[in-house]
């Protein structure tokens, strides 16, 4: 009887490990495909080495939920040394930090009309990111800091995949935004690229 219980436990442990390995492999494939879909100029800020506690959201222009946009949002938790290294690099490069709810932001894909916000900075609508931030899921929680590396106007998708620019200022009808958000509370780094 005792041997049977041990045997069952070993089988369960092995099957869980196999499932985790398969999920890890699938995650790495999705990450590589996401990075490979976009130009290296747009994805160069994404990490080449992946850490634990990863979350990934990738949508392509032809996807059901990505009509008129493509994006990649990747999050992972790192140790405090790695987190501080990234923060120092952001500071050395003099990249300004913002609060998630800063009024300067134009949230691409939001239902709010931003057409009069001519000098705004576009960032992702984070509700497409695979994490529940509650009622205002389009925003990251207050304890995050947002660093926008670059946002440019222009057509970076094929014509048939371009956004109509609904609710966006004419200047930002099409373009891209890329950057990183930091969460000091959990040593989390959230990388994004949004193309619309």
Token pair recorded at residue 193 = 């690229």
Domains of the chain, residue spans? 1-37, 40-195
**CB 72, CB 60: distance < 8 Å:** no
45 φ, ψ (degrees, to nearest 5)? -85, -10
CA distances from 37 to 6, 10, 98, 128, 148 (A): 46, 40, 28, 18, 21
pLDDT by 10s per residue, the chain, length 196: 555 554 454 554 445 455 667 777 887 888 888 888 888 899 999 988 776 656 777 776 654 344 567 888 888 889 999 999 999 999 999 999 999 989 999 998 888 899 999 899 999 887 655 454 444 445 688 889 999 999 999 998 888 888 888 889 999 999 999 999 999 999 999 999 999 9
pLDDT for residue 60: 64
Provide the CA 195 distance to its chain's centre, in angstroms: 12
pLDDT for residue 173: 92
pLDDT for residue 45: 94
pLDDT for residue 144: 92
pLDDT for residue 93: 95
For the entire predicted model, the pTM comes to 0.79
């Amino acid at each position: 009887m005792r041997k049977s219980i041990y045997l069952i436990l070993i089988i369960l442990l092995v099957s869980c490990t196999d499932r985790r390995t398969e999920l890890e492999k699938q995650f790495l494939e999705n990450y590589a495909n996401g990075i490979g879909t976009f130009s290296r100029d747009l994805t160069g800020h994404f990490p080449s080495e992946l850490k634990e506690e990863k979350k990934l959201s990738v949508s392509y222009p032809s996807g059901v939920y990505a009509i008129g946009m493509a994006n990649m949002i990747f999050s992972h938790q790192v140790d405090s040394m790695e987190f501080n290294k990234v923060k120092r690099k952001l500071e050395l490069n003099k990249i300004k930090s913002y609060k998630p709810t800063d009024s300067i932001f134009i949230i691409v894909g939001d239902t709010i009309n931003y057409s009069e916000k001519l000098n705004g900075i576009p960032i992702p609508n984070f509700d497409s990111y695979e994490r529940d931030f509650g009622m205002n899921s389009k925003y990251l929680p207050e304890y995050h800091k947002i660093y926008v590396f670059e946002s440019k106007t222009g057509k970076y998708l094929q014509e048939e995949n371009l956004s109509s620019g609904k609710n966006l200022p004419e200047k930002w009808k099409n373009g891209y935004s890329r950057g990183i958000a930091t969460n000091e509370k959990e040593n989390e780094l959230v990388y994004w690229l949004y193309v619309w």
